[in-house]
């Protein structure tokens, strides 16, 4: 969640808290200072929620980082260090299904058809490990960087952000979302700067 999203969510929480409190506690017979106190209370709830969202995001980031190292480090060749990673999926994207049928429709129709991966790069290798939740499924590819024909981050129009890879055998399009979009852009820049 970006800072702007957290601020917008905190403002919404503030407004909802103020509406709830004002509708519940303020009547025509109440003095006007009660409305100011309720607004200050609602503002406190909103600011508190901003810091809560920020804390949860940092905790989520630390959890992602830990999981990525647990999954990718055992697959790395000896002497290699993970420089960057991204978590994403192959299969049907979310945007169209969510717009047509909502999150529940997407979960019912497409969730089982998606395959989730961690993709990591080192100085000399690209490592792709399929996961089920936080556990590797055993399907992995460790490829030398010079054997990857194409590596590019793509995001345009209504297409979902993706990392397009061309292995020697087959192409892979890894769709990314949330904070992984930023990581995918950084990975693309790192890949091309070291090439």
pLDDT band at 136 (very low <50, low <70, confident <90, very high): confident
Same domain, 114 and 35: no
DSSP 160: P
Q: What's the half-sphere exposure (Cβ side, CA atoms, 13 Å) at 110?
A: 18
Same domain, 17 and 103: no
pLDDT digits (tens, 9 = 90+) for 65-75: 888 888 888 88
Same domain, 88 and 154: yes
pLDDT digits (tens, 9 = 90+) for 102-116: 767 777 777 777 888
Low-confidence winner among 14-23, 57-66, 147-156, 167-176 (lowest mean pLDDT): 14-23
Helix, strand, or coil here: 91? coil
Number of other residues whose CB lies within 10 A of the CB of residue 42: 20
The number of distinct structural domains making up the chain is 2
Same domain, 113 and 141: yes
Determine, yes or no, domain membership for 131. Answer: yes
Taking the mean position of all CA atoms in its chain, how far away is CA 88? 9
> Where among 30, 62, 94 does a domain terminate?
62
When pLDDT is averaged across residues 33-57 and rounded to a whole number, the result is 71
Determine, yes or no, domain membership for 159. Answer: yes
Same domain, 187 and 93: yes
pLDDT exceeds cutoff 80 at 182: yes
Query: What range defines the domain where residue 17 resides?
Result: 3-62
Same domain, 20 and 100: no
How many whole angstroms separate alpha carbon 121 and alpha carbon 128? 9
Q: What is the pLDDT of residue 160?
A: 80
How many whole angstroms separate alpha carbon 158 and alpha carbon 77? 38
Q: What is the pLDDT of residue 23?
A: 59
Number of other residues whose CB lies within 10 A of the CB of residue 127: 24
How many whole angstroms separate alpha carbon 149 and alpha carbon 172? 11
Determine, yes or no, domain membership for 190. Answer: yes
Same domain, 50 and 85: no
pLDDT exceeds cutoff 80 at 30: no
Determine, yes or no, domain membership for 68. Answer: no
pLDDT exceeds cutoff 70 at 96: no
Determine, yes or no, domain membership for 31. Answer: yes
Taking the mean position of all CA atoms in its chain, how far away is CA 116? 13
Per the document, the length of the chain is 195
Q: Strand 125-132 relative to strand 84-90: parallel, antiparallel, unpaired?
A: unpaired
Q: Model's pTM, two decimal places?
A: 0.68
> Where among 15, 40, 62 does a domain terminate?
62
Can you point out the beta strands (E) in the chain?
84-90, 115-121, 125-132, 135-144, 150-154, 162-166, 171-175
For the chain, the C-alpha Rg in angstroms (whole number) is: 22
Same domain, 56 and 81: no
């Amino acid at each position: 969640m970006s800072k702007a999203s957290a601020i917008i969510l905190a403002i919404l929480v503030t407004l909802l808290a103020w509406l709830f409190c004002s509708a519940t506690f303020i009547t025509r017979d109440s003095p006007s200072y009660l409305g100011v106190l309720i607004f200050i209370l609602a503002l406190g709830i909103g600011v508190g929620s901003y810091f809560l969202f920020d804390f949860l995001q940092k905790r989520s980031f630390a959890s992602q980082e830990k999981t990525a190292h647990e999954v990718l480090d055992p697959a790395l060749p000896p002497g290699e260090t993970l420089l960057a990673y991204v978590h994403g999926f192959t299969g049907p994207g979310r945007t169209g299904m969510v717009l047509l049928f909502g999150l529940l429709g997407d979960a019912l129709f497409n969730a089982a058809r998606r395959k989730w991966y961690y993709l990591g790069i080192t100085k000399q290798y690209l490592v792709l490990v399929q996961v089920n939740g936080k556990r590797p499924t055993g399907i992995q590819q460790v490829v030398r960087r010079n054997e990857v024909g194409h590596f590019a981050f793509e995001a345009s129009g209504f297409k979902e952000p993706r990392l397009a890879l061309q292995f020697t055998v087959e192409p892979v399009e890894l769709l990314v979302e949330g904070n992984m979009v930023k990581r995918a852009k950084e990975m693309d820049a790192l890949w091309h700067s070291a090439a």
